[in-house]
Structure 1
């Protein structure tokens, strides 16, 4: 049975494990423990899905709890995908900040997943990949 909980004190090792098991590990600094620790320390809304004690999913967000919630990391272990875990992590994220708009950037492998669960695509998204690109 999958249990869901708010875990703002999630350990970096567990976070890295679920990232590495999912496709999200390819785009996260899983080999940089300091950055991973900082990501967890500054993410102010972290929900997990566990099968017994094993972490099988995580939703890490930054939110002001009133206007916007940026769901930065949504990762589900491939052995547990297609069971509604990602959708439930999103639902519980929304419940923690019900007045806030939920925003995310889809990983390439998940682009078709989000419309399937009722999320809307926004064509006007912009980003700068790293701060050092601003110096150019």
Structure 2
């Protein structure tokens, strides 16, 4: 991928399962997401109310990043997936997706996520604060 390629960020509520699965696998999130369960992936997409994509401004508009969120657009936004193709990592696409999500939800909405251990440094670098008092009931995969 050329570093000179322009990246187009957009809301893409009709993102297809094939592309979503591919970016999850390519980014490394495929090992902790239900990539073999197409109905579940479809439900993940259809239930998200903010899907931001990053595509290269090239023929075919290849998908290089996605941010899948559930938000009320008033108080909180949960960012469930921030996935960037390895060929595009280091080019600012993850940061760009975060900025686009924050712009879409506005400054009065908190952005919340649970990081994979390998990405903690990225989130710290872009200025996100760690939260000590977070809790969850872990899903049965």
Q: Give the TM interval when normalised to the shorter protein.
A: over 0.9
1:121 aligns with 2:126: no
Using the alignment, how far apart are the partners of 2:135 and 2:32 within structure 1? 18
1:84 aligns with 2:92: yes
- Structure 2 matches for 1:1-136, cutoff 5 A? 1-51=6-56, 52=58, 53-98=61-106, 99-130=108-139
What do residues 20-58 of structure 1 show as CA deviations (whole Å, max 9, x unaligned)?
001211111011001100000000000000113111000
- CA change 1:29–1:131 in 2 (3 A) is closer
Query: SS of 2:46's equivalent?
Result: helix
Using the alignment, how far apart are the partners of 1:88 and 1:69 within structure 2? 17
Structure 1 unaligned regions, length at least 5: none
Q: Is residue 23–residue 109 contact of structure 1 (8 Å, CA) maintained in 2?
A: no
Query: SS of 1:130's equivalent?
Result: coil
Shift of 1:131: 5.8
Query: SS of 1:111's equivalent?
Result: helix
The farther-off stretch of 123-132 and 112-121 is 123-132
The alignment of Structure 1 onto Structure 2 pairs a total of residues equal to: 132
Q: Which runs of 4+ in 1 moved over 4 A?
A: none
Using the alignment, how far apart are the partners of 2:110 and 2:87 within structure 1? 30
Shift of 1:86: 0.4
Structure 2 unaligned regions, length at least 5: 1-5
After TM superposition, the score normalised by the length of structure 2 is 0.90
Using the alignment, how far apart are the partners of 1:125 and 1:57 within structure 2? 27
The farther-off stretch of 59-68 and 93-102 is 93-102
The farther-off stretch of 38-47 and 104-113 is 104-113
